[in-house]
Amino acid sequence: MTTLSLLELVRVTQDTPAAMALNNARDLASHAEEWGYSRVWVAEHHNMEGVASAATSIVVAHIAGGTKSIRVGAGGIMLPNHAPYIIAEQFGTLERLYPGRIDLGLGRAPGTDQIAVRAMRRSPEASDRFPQDVMELQAFLAPAGPDQRIIAVPAAGTNVPLWILGSSTFGATLAAELGLPYAFASHFQPDTLLPALEIYRSRFKPSEQLDRPCAMAGINVIAADTDAEAKRLATTQQMSFADIFSGRRGLSRPPIDDIETYWSPHEKAQAMHMLARSVVGSADTVRTGLQAFAAETSVDEVMIVSDVYDHQARLRSVQLIAEAMNPEDPRPSPPE
């Protein structure tokens, strides 16, 4: 059975204000827990009107507080935006509150535009220190030494599991060198997935956290009772990606019947290239697509992005994905 996890986008939509989006994320995680998902992550994005997860550690706490056993974490914290000491304090506190359930994925990109980078008072060159910052953060989460003068309280000794995130081969190389698990963002960067996994596995060095390579890859999956309905639901994500290239910025949009009326040929080509790692359809279609993805990549875990506009339809999508990959284990349906 393929291990499944979720990347929760905390989408603000035309019908879902930020508070509702945050509560929907918590509700989705509680159902995902029942349906056998391994973890739920949220990502740090800034200056994006349609995403409510900028204060990532607070969102993680909100979701963890509404669940019992599923792992909850950041996928990820954009470390160049922060002092490692502060992130250690935040995620160490989360680990004290929810022991054994917190993950800390780390990314090198700013997760925003240059205007927001300036607003955060972070240097554009901060990403150059990413490897050193990862090791500094790791040290703050380790047990404090007897003569250590600065301690991340209450984080010291929590050893929160770190993951390196990547959409290029840089992260794969770093994760291998540090002996950390690696998660590749193939849900929007499909081109270098396989080369990055090969680099990570071939260069991996065992560490105190991990004795062998552990890789995760993202994929967009939208499931519905029929292929036609799933394709209609997928237009929400397709419009979001088209908006990136058109310069349109705003909230997530409800699905439409004909996506061809929305995007230009150029926007379509760019969006569909980024969405190349996608499976859209009924449970049978999803099962076939995910099994092929798992066989092609041999990853230890598949992280699902199910960007569906309506919350109930998204719950149904996530439920169908779980059932497709483990059909002998019936999942309770969410309440209407």
> Would you state the pLDDT for residue 115?
78
> Would you state the pLDDT for residue 127?
83
CA distance 150 to 214: 32
CB-based contact 69:5 (threshold 8 Å): no
Q: Which two tokens stand for residue 299?
A: 């990853």
> Would you state the pLDDT for residue 335?
59
One DSSP character per residue, 4-63 reads EEEEE--B-BSS--HHHHHHHHHHHHHHHHHTT--EEEE----S-TTB--SSHHHHHHHH
Torsions phi, psi of 206, nearest 5?
A: -60, 150
What is 4-325's CATH number, 3.40.630.30, 3.40.190.10, 3.60.15.10, 3.20.20.30?
A: 3.20.20.30
Which residue is listed with tokens 């996506």?
Answer: 259
CB-based contact 93:154 (threshold 8 Å): yes
> Would you state the pLDDT for residue 142?
98
> Would you state the pLDDT for residue 79?
94
> Would you state the pLDDT for residue 119?
82
10-residue stretch averages of pLDDT, the chain, 336 residues long: 93 95 98 98 92 97 98 96 96 98 92 73 81 97 94 98 96 98 97 97 97 98 98 97 85 95 95 97 98 97 98 98 80 58
Q: Give 263's contacts (C-beta < 8 A, 6+ positions apart).
A: 238, 239, 242, 246, 271
Q: Which two tokens stand for residue 102?
A: 């917190």
> Would you state the pLDDT for residue 331?
53
Q: What are the start-end ranges of the H helices in the chain?
A: 18-34, 56-65, 84-97, 114-119, 130-141, 169-178, 193-203, 227-233, 235-246, 265-274, 283-297, 311-325
> Would you state the pLDDT for residue 94?
98
